[in-house]
Amino acid sequence: MKLILISLSLISSLYAISYQELAQKSDDAQAGFEDARSMMSMTLINASGQKRERLMKMQVLEGEEGDKSLMEFLSPADVKGTKFLNYEHINKDDDQWLYLPALKRVKRIASKNKSGAFMGSEFSYEDLSAFNADKYSYPEGEAKMSELNGKKVYLGESEPVSKYSGYTKLLIWVDAQNYLIQKIEYYDRKKELLKTAIFEGYKKISGVWRIGKITMSNIQNDKRTILVWSEQELKIGLKAKDFHKRVLKK
């Protein structure tokens, strides 16, 4: 009996991981892509179930000081040509710009406005930043084991460091085998559940895990936004100049 108890203790210790370690492993799980280009569809669904479709192209450059990303809307006509540029920073709020073709001007997104909705979707400007474990604080102790859709998962918890965040807490379900995020619950400034994101369709491209679909559901207004990636290419040689602010007006 003693041997069995010792064995069980050893097995359980293998799964022991702190909240911060879990976040870092999750961050690392999709690192190493260098640069990426893809198409992306955005489906906006209102409380009555009516849908609006948008098509974008996306490119990302991985960097030690933070990733850079550029999104351009291709359709429909009312948003065509709109571009969004994001410079991620680890120790301060990200720099974000939105190009509005109708006005032919670039609008800088102020840090205090990053909790606002992005282009009428259920994603905020804050949600469009790359996840980085260093931009959050974590409770003491070890992440709990749980189960989600038949998978063994860790249940993580974090709080955004930025004072301008629209969230007070995130609960994160992470696959216990590959550390890929499966689900996130976002709690608003009143500490009430605001949104739930479901992550699906992961696949390896050039040896790196990439997301295929995110469904963001707003619990408070019954609206949803679905992002689906396609035609993903990695390590294609994108450079910093491809993400310069001047490309917004091109």
**What residue type is assigned to position 113 of the chain?**
N
**pLDDT of amino acid 7:** 40
Question: Encoding tokens for residue 31?
Answer: 């690192």
Alpha carbons 66 and 239: distance in angstroms, whole number: 14
Give the tens place of pLDDT for each residue, 57-66: 999 999 988 9
Report domain extents, the chain: 18-249
Instruction: Categorize the per-residue pLDDT at 163 as very low, low, confident or very high, splitting at 50, 70 and 90.
Output: very high
Give the tens place of pLDDT for each residue, 67-98: 999 999 999 999 999 999 999 998 889 999 99
Pair 157, 163: CB distance under 8 Å? no
* Average pLDDT value over all residues in the chain: 92
Phi and psi angles of residue 77, each rounded to the nearest 5 degrees, phi first: -60, -35
**pLDDT of amino acid 175:** 97
**pLDDT of amino acid 141:** 93
Give the tens place of pLDDT for each residue, 202-222: 999 999 999 999 999 999 999
The arithmetic mean of pLDDT across residues 122-130, rounded, is: 92
Q: What is the DSSP string of the chain?
A: -HHHHHHHHHHHHHT--BHHHHHHHHHHHT----EEEEEEEEEEE-TT--EEEEEEEEEEE--TT--EEEEEEEESTTTTT-EEEEE--SSSPPEEEEEETTTTEEEE--GGGTTSBSTTSS-BTGGGSPP-GGGEE--SSBPEEEEETTEEEEEEEEEE--TT-S-SEEEEEEETTT--EEEEEEE-TTS-EEEEEEEE--EEETTEEE--EEEEEETTT--EEEEEEEEEEE-S---GGGGSGGGGG-
**pLDDT of amino acid 9:** 39
Instruction: Categorize the per-residue pLDDT at 3 as very low, low, confident or very high, splitting at 50, 70 and 90.
Output: very low
Architecture of domain 18-249: Clam (2.50)
pLDDT more than 70, % of the chain: 94
**pLDDT of amino acid 129:** 84
pLDDT more than 90, % of the chain: 89
Select from 176, 172, 141 the least CA-distant residue to 15: 176
